[in-house]
Amino acid sequence: MKKKKILITGAAGDVGTHLRRELQAKYKIVASDLRDLGETFKGQSFKRADISKMPAALRITKGVDAIVHLGGYSVEGPWQGILNANIIGCYNIFEAARLNGVKRILFPTSNHAVGFYERGTTIDHRVYPKPDSRYGVSKVFGEALGSLYADKYGMQVFCMRIGNVNPVPIDKRRLSILFTPRDLAQLVTIGIEHPDVRFEIVYGISKNTRAWYDNSNAFRLGYQPKDDSEQWAAEVLANEKPGDQAAELYQGGMFCVAEDIPNPAPLPERKKRM
């Protein structure tokens, strides 16, 4: 069978790089970002783009079978940055996809869309959003936008509330939200391939013993995660230091109290925006 052509925005980031690596044999991948990719993989093309500009969004979404929209500001930060990348940029990708006839969009939303639920609470995909930050608000916006485009334009939208994509958990909080690269690739594949997707919200986590999420909607669609953070629990907890009391209360952690977090993926000053 002919390989599907998949656009991954935000492809230079950690999640995008893991995904490009894991899916390189399965799909024909078009990688897009404002930054250079860093790690590259054979057979994948690159299109530099500033998705806050509609012409750029139209250019990169043309001729693809599905979009994994990772592009955007990835932490809590100044409103203008989040507005341009996560609100305007998100709208541009959805609208450009519609205009170019792309039916399937995977929107990696975030655990921060529901970060103000307490850690002792188990939540599922039907809970009311409780964002923990301006960044979290932007992810709620993306979920709502996806719902609109599914209902109004018949697009197929798969929203994944991502926990923390990493091969191993790095602290106590991430024992609950670890999402290993191979489990990420499996869930994304379901989002691309499942025939019955109209509008779905699932949680992007592995099968963690300490999970805060009821991920039955993902399991219903065939998700069978392979990894559990519990194998690293003893080591992680032995090295854990006391944190902010308010942050420790809520699932969103430091996003619940921070006003600004250094952007882990800043655009180099010398790069010209496109």
Q: Are 264 and 74 in contact (CB under 8 A)?
A: yes
Report d(CA 190, CA 66) in Å as an integer. Answer: 12
Residues 6+ apart with CB under 8 A from 128: none
Q: Are 114 and 129 in contact (CB under 8 A)?
A: yes
Write the DSSP string, 64-92.
Answer: -SEEEE--S--SS--HHHHIIIIIIHHHH
Backbone dihedral angles phi then psi of residue 108, each to the nearest 5 degrees? -75, 90
Residues constituting the chain:
274
| DSSP 8-state secondary structure symbol assigned to residue 51 | T
Q: Are 85 and 51 in contact (CB under 8 A)?
A: yes
Q: In whole angstroms, how far apart are CA 176 and each of 17, 22, 203, 253?
A: 23, 23, 12, 12
Report d(CA 100, CA 60) in Å as an integer. Answer: 10
Report d(CA 76, CA 113) in Å as an integer. Answer: 12
Degrees (nearest 5) of the Cα angle 172, 176, 179? 110
Which of 135, 203, 213, 250 is catalytic? The answer is 135
Cα torsion through 164, 168, 174, 178, rounded to 10: 50
Active site residue 135: yes
Kindly list the catalytic residues.
135
